[in-house]
Amino acid sequence: MRLGLMQGESAVLDVDANLSAIEAAAGLAREGGADLLVTPELFPVGYAPYRLREELDPGKLPGIAQPLLDIARRHEIGLLYSLPELGPPQGDDLPESHDGRWRITASLAGADGRLLAHYVKVHLFGPEEREVFTPGTAPPVVVDFCGMRLGIAVCYDIEFPETARAAALRGAQALLVPTALGTGYDRIPQRLIPTRALESQLYVAYANHSGVEDGFALSGGSVVADPFGDLHAQAGKGAELLFADLDPKRVEAARRDVPYLHDRSPEIYREWGTEDFDSRA
């Protein structure tokens, strides 16, 4: 399966411009042989939590989601996109109604424009996200796509080993992660993403913004790490369309080489206790 990762600068609340950028990337990705395009976290509306809460009319969200499904259908390519939403959907549930609470989501559209999976971000980063959004509680959703099992998480989720491990235990061979990573955290794509891929023996595709959005500088540096923990593809700091070929046989080879998933001892781990970490210690 060939994957395309879109990296670029989103125009905050300029939905038409952002949809046009995604459409252009989808066309180029399909021309490059990609089966699926992964776009960054909240790219269609821009990464600016306070402004989204104050200025984005939730009634317009269906009018943003439908054009994304149409882009997938027109270009006959899968599309992973991230939007805010109001509502209770969790995990495999598809959005139907809202309860007045904002969430960050990622959704997978098939090449026919049909919605295949929907996920709500669990780990919110920093005071701004935690003030504006409500976290999800469901594990990474996993879905069959082009002969592979794909998991979905968002940004800060991947910085917790439990996320990738949960996806792997649910059968994922690759974990797709739209993100909005600021400057100063290059160690995340360069060190942590390969580690997550290695320890849970799956591909991790991490698609970031670039440029500056509402005063927030984003670092680019999108990567794809393979199940052996090698960087399979990596982008620079500017706008870029990154390609990576994912091979399920490489996942199988990694899991045969060192059977981390098989050799786990969850019954022992439970005996170790689950006390919350006290940051004052």
Q: Which residue in 42, 122, 45, 48 sits closest to 80, CA to CA? A: 42
Please tell me the distance from the alpha carbon of residue 31 to that of residue 2, in angstroms, as a whole number: 11
Residue 198 lies in a domain: yes
pLDDT tens across 195-209, in order?
Answer: 999 999 999 999 999
Q: Catalytic residue among 9, 85, 129, 155, which?
A: 155
pTM: 0.93
Range of the domain at 39: 2-258
User: Is 41 tagged catalytic?
Assistant: yes
Is the confidence at residue 281, as pLDDT, over 70? no
Dihedral pair phi/psi, residue 171, rounded to 5°: 105, 0
Is the confidence at residue 98, as pLDDT, over 90? no
- Percentage of the chain lying above the pLDDT 90 cut: 90
Tell me, what's the pLDDT at 256?
97
Tell me, what's the pLDDT at 89?
46
Residue 277 lies in a domain: no
**Mean pLDDT, all residues of the chain:** 94
Q: 199 with 190: CB under 8 angstroms? A: no
| 273 band by pLDDT with thresholds 50, 70 and 90 | confident
Please tell me the distance from the alpha carbon of residue 279 to that of residue 157, in angstroms, as a whole number: 20
Residue 267 lies in a domain: no
Is the confidence at residue 193, as pLDDT, over 60? yes
Residue 40 lies in a domain: yes
The average pLDDT across 113-125 equals 98
Give the domain CATH number at 202.
3.60.110.10
User: Is 128 tagged catalytic?
Assistant: no
pLDDT tens across 135-178, in order?
Answer: 999 999 999 999 999 999 999 999 999 999 999 999 999 999 99
Residue 155 lies in a domain: yes
Residue 175 lies in a domain: yes
pLDDT tens across 222-255, in order?
Answer: 999 999 999 999 999 999 999 999 999 999 999 9
Residue 271 lies in a domain: no
Q: Which residue in 100, 145, 103 sits closest to 122, CA to CA? A: 103
- Percentage of the chain lying above the pLDDT 70 cut: 93
More confident of the two residues 101 and 96:
101
Give the pair of three-digit tokens for residue 278.
């006290």
Is the confidence at residue 83, as pLDDT, over 50? yes
Dihedral pair phi/psi, residue 248, rounded to 5°: -60, -25
Total domains present in the chain: 1
| 14 band by pLDDT with thresholds 50, 70 and 90 | very high
184 phi-psi bin (left φ>0, alpha ψ -120 to 50, beta other): left
Is the confidence at residue 258, as pLDDT, over 70? yes
Question: 182 forms bridges with which residues in the sheet?
Answer: 218
Q: 149 with 142: CB under 8 angstroms? A: yes
Q: Catalytic residue among 9, 85, 121, 129, which?
A: 121
Q: Catalytic residue among 41, 85, 129, 213, which?
A: 41
Residue 268 lies in a domain: no
Tell me, what's the pLDDT at 101?
79
Q: Strands 78-86, 102-109: parallel, antiparallel or unpaired by DSSP?
A: antiparallel
User: Is 146 tagged catalytic?
Assistant: no
Is the confidence at residue 96, as pLDDT, over 60? no
- Residues 6 or more apart whose CB falls under 8 angstroms from that of 235 comprise 5, 7, 208, 220, 221, 222, 223, 242
Please tell me the distance from the alpha carbon of residue 11 to that of residue 143, in angstroms, as a whole number: 30
Is the confidence at residue 30, as pLDDT, over 80? yes
- Residues 6 or more apart whose CB falls under 8 angstroms from that of 27 comprise 75
Tell me, what's the pLDDT at 225?
98
> Can you tell me which residue has the tokens 């990296």?
7
